[in-house]
Amino acid sequence: MSTRIAIVAGAGTGLGQATALTLHNAGLRVVAVDRSEAGLRQLPDEIHREVADATDPAVPGPLVNRIAAEVGLPDVLVNTIGAFELGDALSVTAQSLRQLTDVNLGAALWLTQAVAPHMQQRGSGVIVHIAARPGVEPTAGYAAYAVSKAALVHLVRTLDVELHPHGIRVNAVAPQIIATEKNKAMFPPEMLAGAVEPKAIADVIAFLVSDAAAPVSGAVVPTYG
């Protein structure tokens, strides 16, 4: 059997970097995508790297087509791109809502649109997006972020309905707080008490893209810690 090819978007840091390493160690051929070249340079040389901003709707289509031509048809897409902002509903601005929606929802849609035709061509594929607990359960103080992640949750379930007949599984994982360096600097220690290490969530993602998770599609898997 040929080596499965996985595109990991947002692979330059945090959960994306941990996921790229975990899938690489599991034997997949990983294509790491991030707008930070410095972050991608931290990955092993065996991982193919692409510097690109997948939140730009014009980028994912040509990027994935080139990856398909140069590396091979993608079997797996893991999208870890995300943006976060604190603030209650009455303080949300048009700019913050638009930015969070573009990053948390838009990137997921544009990347899915880019990989799905290639997966349909081979009759199989797995897609995993990163949702969040506030996108599943209403949480005070995260209004714009929660709404953008709730939209992502609904997108994942819609994609499952539309793509599952073509052999493509679409799932999401929903962390609460990930113990990334950025979050450790942002949140007070008491809020980080239950934070989950990126590697632990990456292991869940690795399971979801594996054949062992073949019956799982349309799921939003909690990784709350």
With b for 16 or more beta-carbon neighbours within 10 A and e for fewer, the 193-222 pattern comes to: eebbebeebbbbbbebbbeebeeebbbbbe
Q: Which of 73, 145, 175, 204 is catalytic?
A: 145
**Count of other CB atoms within 10 angstroms of residue 188:** 7
pLDDT value at position 54? Answer: 96
E strand spans, 4-66: 5-9, 29-34, 48-51
User: Residue 184: which pLDDT band, with cuts at 50, 70 and 90?
Assistant: confident
Verify whether residue 142 is a known catalytic residue: no
Q: Model pTM greater than 0.75?
A: yes
Torsion angle in degrees (nearest 10) through CA of 190, 195, 198, 199: 120
Query: Is the predicted pLDDT of residue 1 greater than 70, yes or no?
Result: no
**Per-residue model confidence as pLDDT tens digits over 76-111:** 999 999 999 999 999 999 999 999 999 999 999 999
Average pLDDT score over residue span 132-147 = 94
Residues 6+ apart with CB under 8 A from 57: 106, 110
pLDDT value at position 189? Answer: 77
Torsional sign, CA 105, 59, 86, 180: positive
Q: From CA 107, how far away is CA 68, in angstroms rounded?
A: 19
**Per-residue model confidence as pLDDT tens digits over 141-167:** 999 999 999 999 999 999 999 999 999
* 3-class DSSP state of 129: strand
Torsional sign, CA 175, 80, 24, 41: negative
Q: From CA 178, how far away is CA 112, in angstroms rounded?
A: 24
Q: From CA 159, how far away is CA 189, in angstroms rounded?
A: 37
Q: Which domains are present in the chain?
A: 5-223 (3.40.50.720)
Q: From CA 66, how far away is CA 199, in angstroms rounded?
A: 29
Q: From CA 55, how far away is CA 33, in angstroms rounded?
A: 11
